[in-house]
Each structure stands twice: as structure tokens, then as C-alpha cells.
């Protein structure tokens, strides 16, 4: 245990040693209507590539949940998740690292971190009125289009390889925008997508209600995300159905890698056992720490994993797709060195996440690119230090 803490301290020291990439506010955002919830311009950080990676691009979408009501969007507006006035530049390790030892495949790429300030996975296109009478801007789709347009002018258009990635609600945004991103490049340019912890499940919570479905329904209708939803899905199903990844992935043509935990800590805490269900004390303890769950609760968590695995069966038929579904109690594994590629990172078939993603992206291995872990607690490489 002491060794783990020493490692974390060392990683934190390294991360603080170099300044973060500069925060850039989107030029001409107001004229384009591409603004955050409060009307401020959206922001991104660009870390220029070098050497052999100077023409390769990683575009990463930040996550941060959703706002599905005027009240919740008003709260987001008063934070960095709704206003660039409250955003500060950050330095991230993991897939963003410039150190070859920590990020051997992408260390010298151009890396863009697009900050999240719309509350609808970069997908809304509407307006509302805040409780205080001021406007709320639901402009995630315009933010997506305007930021990508600006990046194209800054060199993305000349990319030799491009990877669209993101985690959590940003991981869902990757799935929603994947084919749109790919279509911006000549067919000769290898373009792929990578969703980390973005596969949200349409399941009942422990009270029998579909809490996450009610949230997604609020987002879809309040923020008008219909424009980004798969047309073939909309022809058969309600828009809310088409906002869930299980439906979205059926329509994606671009090669995509899905990284998720079978026991995603955020979803267990907010989808399976949301606070709104007023869970009893034993559930509060369980959802805070999977090691404290009783056998009955573990069975419910196994059911969550089973739903995820079933929803992903369609990926098995997609030859150029990849999977890394571990059984760790965690959420978002790409922006942390400890989970991305470290001596104590999760492993499947003896490969770290970074190694599996690299093998998939560069076509180094046809075997081991689609890996689904066994049930908890089977994997000894699931560290207690992983972010949850």
C-alpha cells in the first residue's frame, strides 16, 4: 500500500513540473452562437505534437454529466461545467502525457482537450430562460462544430492520423459525433474513435424506476439533441432511446474502441443506486466501495455488468472495433497514468489499457483487441487506488 501512495505522489510531482497547455477561448464564438450555458465562449487546450507525431491528432472531449432541467442547468452555469469564465487550464497525465515511457503510442501527437460547458454531451441546439430571467444557451452542437472548424484551420485538416476520444459524457459525445468527425477527412486518412466510460445503460435502478432514462429524456427535450441522433434509430424509436449508446453504436461506421468497466463506479452510484431512491445504509456503503457490498448487492452489480455485455454483443460483429471491459470499480481510465499505463494499471490478457488501445489503433494485433473481463472480484490487477 505504501508503494502505491509513493507512486501516486511521484506522478503528482511530475504532473506539476510542467505548465499545462494554454487555455484558448473560441474565436468568434458569439457570432456563431457557439457558447456555453451562460453565453461565454467555449474553450480548449492544444498541446502541439512534435517529431514523428506532429501530423497526428488526438481530439479529446471532456466529460461532466448533464443538465436536464432549468434548475440543474442554472447550477451548471455557475460552475466550470457551464461557463468558461470559471474554467482553468489543467495538466493531465495518462493519454495526454508527453512522456514516451507513460504514453508510448500518443506521447508526441497534437493533443486537444475540448472543455465541457454545455451539459448535453456537445449535442444540444436550443435556448431557455434561467430562473433569474437571463438566457440559458443550449449550444453544444454549435460548440462542437465551431471548435472542430477552428482546429481544422490550426492543422487538423492536414492530419495523417486522427483519433476522437473522450470520457464519461464526453465519451458519449464521441459516439454521437464519431461519423461526423470522420467525414471531415479524406478517406485515405485513418480516423478512429475511442469512448472511455461513455457507455451508459438504460436500466432500472434498485427501486424499479428508470432514473437515468428520465435524465436523458430531460436532456434530449430541453436541449434539443435530436440533430445528432442516428436517423435510422429515430425512424423506429423515441429520441430518448436513440441517446443511449446501445442504440447509437448500431449506426456508427467509423472504427471505434469502447473502454468501460463492467462495474462502472459512476453508474453504480448514480444510475443503479441514485440518491433519489433514498437507498438504505447498506446500499450507501456498497455504492461507495464495492468491497463492502453483500452477496445480494453483488448479484445486482453482476446484473449491471450482464446488461453491458449484452448491449456490446453487436460490437463482436464489427471487425475493426475494439473492446476493453474490465471488472474494476472505476470510471474514466484514460486521463490517469495509474489506470492508463502504470505498474499497477488494470490488465486483460496481460495488456494495459494503453497497450490494448495501441494494438487496436495501429493494427498490431488481431487477437486480444476485444477483451471482456470475468466477474468481480476475479481480476487481481484492479487496484484499490483507481479513480472512482
Cell of 366: 488481431
Q: C-alpha 216: how far from its chain's center?
A: 16
Q: What is the DSSP letter of 249?
A: G
Cis omega before residue 139 (within 30°)?
Answer: no
d(CA 47, CA 42): 17
The neighbour count for residue 313, using CB atoms within 10 Å, is 9
Roughly what angle, to the nearest 10 degrees, separates helices 140-153 and 169-182? 50
Assess whether 331 carries a catalytic annotation. Answer: yes
3-state secondary structure of 61: strand
d(CA 197, CA 57): 21
d(CA 289, CA 320): 35
Catalytic residue among 121, 168, 342, 388, which?
Answer: 168
Which is nearest to 145 in space by CA: 120, 108, 99, 181? 181
Catalytic residue among 68, 331, 345, 359, which?
Answer: 331
Query: If residue 25 lies in a helix (H) or strand (E), which one and from where to where?
Result: strand 23-25
Assess whether 264 carries a catalytic annotation. Answer: yes
Catalytic residue among 118, 125, 205, 264, which?
Answer: 264
Q: Which residues are catalytic?
A: 168, 264, 331
Amino acid at each position: 500500500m505504501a508503494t502505491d501512495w509513493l507512486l501516486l505522489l511521484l506522478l503528482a510531482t511530475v504532473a506539476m513540473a510542467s505548465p499545462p497547455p494554454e487555455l484558448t477561448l473560441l474565436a468568434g464564438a458569439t457570432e456563431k452562437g457557439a457558447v456555453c450555458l451562460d453565453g461565454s465562449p467555449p474553450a480548449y487546450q492544444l498541446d502541439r505534437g512534435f517529431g514523428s507525431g506532429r501530423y497526428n491528432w488526438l481530439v479529446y472531449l471532456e466529460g461532466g454529466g448533464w443538465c436536464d432541467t432549468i434548475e440543474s442547468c442554472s447550477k451548471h452555469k455557475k460552475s466550470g461545467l457551464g461557463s468558461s469564465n470559471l474554467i482553468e487550464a489543467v495538466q493531465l497525465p495518462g493519454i495526454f502525457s508527453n512522456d514516451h515511457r507513460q504514453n508510448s503510442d500518443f506521447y508526441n501527437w497534437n493533443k486537444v482537450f475540448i472543455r465541457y460547458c454545455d451539459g448535453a454531451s456537445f449535442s444540444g441546439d436550443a435556448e431557455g430562460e434561467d430562473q433569474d430571467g437571463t438566457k440559458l444557451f443550449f449550444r453544444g452542437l454549435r460548440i462542437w462544430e465551431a471548435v472542430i472548424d477552428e482546429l481544422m484551420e490550426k492543422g487538423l485538416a492536414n492530419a495523417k492520423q486522427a483519433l476522437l476520444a473522450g470520457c464519461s459524457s464526453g465519451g458519449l459525445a464521441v459516439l454521437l459525433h464519431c461519423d461526423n468527425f470522420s467525414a471531415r477527412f479524406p478517406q485515405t486518412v485513418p480516423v478512429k474513435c475511442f469512448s472511455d466510460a461513455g457507455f451508459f445503460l438504460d436500466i432500472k435502478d434498485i427501486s424499479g424506476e428508470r432514473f437515468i432514462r428520465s435524465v436523458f429524456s430531460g436532456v434530449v427535450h430541453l436541449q434539443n439533441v435530436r440533430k445528432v441522433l442516428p436517423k435510422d434509430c429515430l425512424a423506429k424509436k423515441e429520441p430518448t432511446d436513440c441517446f443511449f449508446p446501445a442504440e447509437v453504436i448500431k449506426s456508427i461506421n467509423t472504427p471505434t474502441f469502447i473502454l468501460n468497466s463492467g462495474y462502472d463506479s459512476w453508474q453504480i452510484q448514480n444510475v443503479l443506486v441514485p440518491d433519489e431512491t433514498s437507498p438504505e445504509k447498506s446500499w450507501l456503503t456498497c455504492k461507495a466501495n464495492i468491497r463492502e457490498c453483500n452477496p445480494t448487492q453483488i448479484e445486482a452489480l453482476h446484473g449491471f455488468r450482464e446488461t453491458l455485455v449484452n448491449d456490446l454483443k453487436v460490437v463482436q460483429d464489427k471487425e475493426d472495433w475494439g473492446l476493453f471491459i474490465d471488472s474494476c470499480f472505476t470510471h474514466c481510465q484514460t486521463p490517469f497514468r495509474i489506470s492508463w499505463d502504470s505498474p499497477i494499471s488494470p490488465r486483460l490478457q496481460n495488456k494495459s489499457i494503453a497497450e490494448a488501445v495501441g494494438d487496436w489503433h495501429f493494427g498490431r494485433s488481431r487477437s486480444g483487441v476485444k477483451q471482456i473481463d470475468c466477474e468481480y472480484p476475479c481480476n487481481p490487477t484492479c487496484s484499490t487506488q483507481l479513480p472512482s
